[in-house]
Amino acid sequence: MTNHSEPVGVTGEAKITLRSAGELAEALPYLLGFRPEDCIVLVALHEGRFGGRVRLGIPDRPEDWPAVADLLARCLIGECVRRDGKPDSIIAFLCQDPAPARAGTGRLTMERLRPLAQLLRTACGALDVPVTEALCLSADHYWSYCCVRPDCCPPDGNPVTGPGTSVMAATAAYAGIQVRASEQEVKARLAPLVTALGPEQERALDAASMDLVPRMLSPHRRADVEAQTLDLARLCMRRLADASSAPDALEADLKDDELLAHDEAAVLILGLQDRETRDRAAEWMEGDEAACALRLWRALARRCVGDYCEHAAAPLTLAGWVAWSLGDTVEADVALEMALGADPDYVFARLLNEARSGGLDPEPVRRSLRGRRADHDEASDPLVDRGEGDAEAAGIREAVAAGIREAEDTGFREREVASITEGEAAGLTEGAAVGITEGEGGSGEQTSEPLVPGTKHVVDPGVSRAARGLEAALRRRGERRPGAGTRPGRAGTRAPRRPSGRRRIVHQRQRGEG
């Protein structure tokens, strides 16, 4: 489920007034950044202005609709109450085109979804927030579930105004709002290859593992792999920057794939499994290098094929971070959702995902990473103490370099033994105690001591630096919530996980912790 609490529909000074159901139907793609398909969207209104919104795929089974309606209502209204106060009203959208399996017209789809619309209205009304408009969008037409006047809302529906022909489209173009064809278009740019290149890439990953993994496990050679990975990434980024760009997204991705050799992609994918290397790569987040970095992370995510699908969590998280830093919140949300699908325990992705859902600005993270990059540029030791007075670095007070190197190497060794899953064993909040078990037949546990009130905050060196900077910003906002921000694409579904004896990460919270 996608949950956003930031206001939507306004960019800078570009504002527009929507006066009818047709204008609301036309505005929805501009609010989301893409044309929604097969989903429920609830948008809160505060004094006539758009507020938070939630989105979830429409369950196939009508038996699941009551629970989904109740979940969406509680989620949206609860978040609005916690941030901006109870909303005045809610607008509901049900978006689903007739599918061959459901044979029929848009009108039949509207009638089939009518009980779901009523359940949404009832669930929101039970929380004292009325649904002032409920629309069904299907087959380029819209129907209102709240209007019974045939002269206003005929049985066959009203056509949705074509793209680029309205005041809304003109305002969005002026404000620089880009609308994609669908969310699937964004996912296709990040999904693993299904062409003949897939088996070849998997063989290259196998070969690179034989060379890189022993070196990454060695405390004395890990830094060499980091330097090799970053140098190769810079080389590939320059190659992408020098290539001519294609206007079509699919054609552009095909060109990028041609510029990236299998062995190069394998080295980069494996090298980014190291958190320190990944955090160094996250510094390419702004300016001209950010666009090239985003293209590279997309290409690497597409190369995580076969048994290496879980390795996509690193490049997907980097793609989500850079997209967010560049202002493309749609691709950021999709990339982070896919990263958590590849590895639900990937801490950096979870923190970024929660920050996006909570409406946090990316600038605190950028400041933290800028400081880190300056450290690398000015001194040979990348772990210079940033001082007590730096608010953004509150979570970055480091242990000595050797201790962090040892923790990173130990974490990578455990991930390789357990099919390379990055279960980053870091407390997500102050006072968290973290237990690590080695799966079936495991024999060891590691725990971090809880923070004693009144003592100095202790940072677990196993957490990546960028993740700690983001955690500090979230903690100052008082918005840390366990498990927040995870967005499955459809109610009742979970991302598939490869079975193995991989370790399980158990986060325990102290009594009374928020």
Q: Would you write out the chain's pLDDT as a tens digit for each of its 514 residues?
A: 666 544 433 334 456 778 788 888 888 888 888 888 899 999 999 988 888 899 999 999 999 999 999 999 999 999 899 888 899 999 999 999 887 655 568 889 999 999 999 999 999 999 999 999 999 999 889 999 998 888 888 888 999 876 655 666 677 666 666 677 678 888 999 999 888 788 899 999 999 999 898 888 888 898 999 999 999 999 999 999 998 877 788 889 999 999 999 999 999 999 999 999 999 999 999 988 999 999 999 999 999 999 999 999 999 999 999 999 998 888 999 999 999 999 999 999 999 998 887 778 888 888 888 888 887 766 544 444 444 334 333 333 332 233 333 333 444 333 333 333 333 333 322 222 222 223 333 333 333 333 333 333 333 343 444 545 555 555 655 544 444 333 334 443 434 444 444 333 333 333 333 3
- DSSP secondary structure code for residue 344 in this structure: T
Rounded Cα–Cα distance for residues 76 and 88 (Å): 12
Q: Within 13 A of 446's CA, how many CA atoms are on the CB side?
A: 17
pLDDT of residue 396: 31
CB 424 within 8 A of CB 462: yes
Rounded Cα–Cα distance for residues 9 and 7 (Å): 7
Would you list the domain boundaries of the chain?
21-179, 184-377
CB 466 within 8 A of CB 369: yes
- In terms of DSSP bridges, do strands 433-437 and 158-159 run parallel, antiparallel, or are they unpaired? unpaired
Q: By three-state DSSP, how is residue 262 classified?
A: helix
Q: Which CATH architecture has domain 21-179?
A: 3-Layer(aba) Sandwich (3.40)
Which residues lie below 8 Å from residue 128, measured CB to CB, with a gap of 6+?
86
- Residue that is written with structure tokens 């202005």 in the block: 49
Closest CA to 42 of 60, 28, 22: 28
Rounded Cα–Cα distance for residues 360 and 128 (Å): 28
Edge-to-edge strands of the sheet including 89-95? 2-4, 49-57, 39-46, 89-95, 131-138, 141-144, 158-159
Q: How many helices (H) and strands (E) does the chain have?
A: 17, 9
- Residue that is written with structure tokens 């969406």 in the block: 72
- In terms of DSSP bridges, do strands 2-4 and 141-144 run parallel, antiparallel, or are they unpaired? unpaired
- Residue that is written with structure tokens 């070969």 in the block: 207
Amino acid present at 327: G
pLDDT of residue 367: 87
Q: By three-state DSSP, how is residue 422 classified?
A: coil
CB 474 within 8 A of CB 360: yes
Closest CA to 120 of 48, 44, 65: 65
Beta bridge partners of 46: 49
Residue 25 backbone phi and psi in degrees, to 5: -60, -40
Amino acid present at 139: A
Q: Which two tokens stand for residue 159?
A: 């056509």
pLDDT of residue 225: 92
Q: Which two tokens stand for residue 236?
A: 């590939």
Helices (H), 176-248: 183-188, 197-217, 222-242
User: In Å, what is the CA distance from 8 to each residue of 32, 55, 271?
Assistant: 8, 13, 38
CB 322 within 8 A of CB 290: yes
Task: Output Rg (C-alpha) for the chain, integer angstroms.
Answer: 24
Rounded Cα–Cα distance for residues 477 and 393 (Å): 14
pLDDT of residue 510: 39
CB 72 within 8 A of CB 80: no
CB 86 within 8 A of CB 129: yes
